[in-house]
Amino acid sequence: MRNAHVFSTLPWHMACSQNFTERTVIALHAREISRYSEPNSVMMLRLAAYSAVMLLSVSPARADVRGDAKEQVAFGISVAQRGLWREAIYRWEKAVEIDPTYAAAFNDLAIAYEHEGQLEKARKAYEKALELDPHNSQVRQNYELFKEINDRTGSGKDKP
């Protein structure tokens, strides 16, 4: 009832507007404080959540690519064990096409190229495998043996 006198002396729109404006300013001021001047923990949490969602949405696609390449490599191994080296080469070429960062696929491809006498292609595949995984001892050992045999025999020429 204290403000009854104010409402009675002012036109209706003034009283409502002033009352509304005062409450709105206070509410807006409180919102500004909570949104912009509190620690950025809420904003950082939102950013972290967004980043996690983006990372999780990309990771399955990457895993699928590697999984598809591994299937090609496994099939290539099985046909190479049966002496079907051209089919193995085809599968391993597909694997490195699917996942160009898969060092083991390049290593297997190099072995197949070497077996088929495609020595320059073998050298490039070994080098790519080492570039992708320089600490892989198996790739390094295969490449060193390849170089030693080919340097000793002097056979640097590819078979047609």
SS3 (DSSP) at 142: helix
- Cβ count within 10 A of residue 7: 14
Query: Into how many domains does the chain fold?
Result: 1
Within a domain: 134? yes
Taking residues 75-85, report their average pLDDT: 96
What integer pLDDT is reported at residue 46 of this predicted model?
61
Does the predicted TM-score (pTM) go above 0.85?
no
Within a domain: 24? no
38-47: burial string, b at 16+ Cβ within 10 Å, e else: eeeeeeeeee
Within a domain: 91? yes
Within a domain: 136? yes
Q: Domain limits at 144?
A: 63-153
Within a domain: 117? yes
Reported as a single tens digit per residue, the pLDDT across 118-149 is 999 999 999 999 999 999 999 999 999 999 99
Give the span between the Cα atoms of 130 and 107, in whole angstroms: 8
| Biggest CA-to-CA distance, the chain | 111
Give the span between the Cα atoms of 60 and 135, in whole angstroms: 26
Question: Is it the case that residue 158 has pLDDT exceeding 70?
Answer: no
Within a domain: 7? no
Within a domain: 144? yes
Give the span between the Cα atoms of 13 and 147, in whole angstroms: 93
What integer pLDDT is reported at residue 136 of this predicted model?
95
- CATH number of the domain where residue 114 is located: 1.25.40.10
Q: Which of 103, 102, 126, 132 is nearest to 113 (CA)?
A: 126
Within a domain: 159? no
